[in-house]
Each structure stands twice: as structure tokens, then as C-alpha cells.
Amino acid sequence: MPKVAKTKENLKKCQCRNCPSYTIGCKMKNYPLNFIRMIDGLDNLEHFEGMFCAYGTSNCIEENRGCLCDDCEVFRENNLKRDEYCLPTQKAAFRCRGAQCRA
């Protein structure tokens, strides 16, 4: 897992909220808890349902319906290598870029 900073600035850049894989059901389910978690401070959180390249896989998203990571500033700024960070690698349609496929 790459070390992406858990900051509000990065969260604003994250495209996950606009992604077709992040279904309306998952958004509705997670919105209240995400809001409360944000108040506590993003950097102290172990898990967050968004910015999955920083927090790890989703507890809700299960199907790849497309990924917007390629269009994300965080992706470029952190030289990330794969897509679908919300999904475990065995479920993601893995598109490796370069040698560090698991970064």
C-alpha cells in the first residue's frame, strides 16, 4: 500500500465520490459515519469509506463498475501504480504500471 497522506486536501481531490463503482447505496450507507469520522480528524483514522489509496479497501464496494483514479491528482502526485483501490487486488481489474505493481 502506498503512503498517501490522509489529509482534507487529498480527500477534496479524491474522485471516488463521483465513481460508478461507489454505488448510491454505499454512499447513503456511509455518508453519516464518514461525516462523523471527518470531525474526529482524518489523519487519526484507521478506516474511511473514501480515498481508498490511503485507507485501504472498502467495506461496501464489491463490484468494479469503472474507476476514476487515473483522473485524480492524488494518483499523479503520489505516482500510484494501480486502479480500484477500493477493491482487494484479486477482485480489481488489475492494470499494473511499471515494476511496483502492488504499490
Applying CB under 6 A, which residues contact ligand SF4?
A: 14-16, 19, 21-22, 51-53, 61, 67-69, 72, 74-75, 80, 83-86
Q: Judge whether 54 and 101 are in contact, CB under 8 Å.
A: no
CB of 1 to ligand SF4, least distance (A): 11
Backbone angles phi, psi at 7, to 5 degrees: -120, 160
Q: Which three cell numbers stand for residue 90?
A: 484479486
CB of 4 to ligand SF4, least distance (A): 6
CB of 63 to ligand SF4, least distance (A): 10
Radius of gyration of the chain (CA): 13
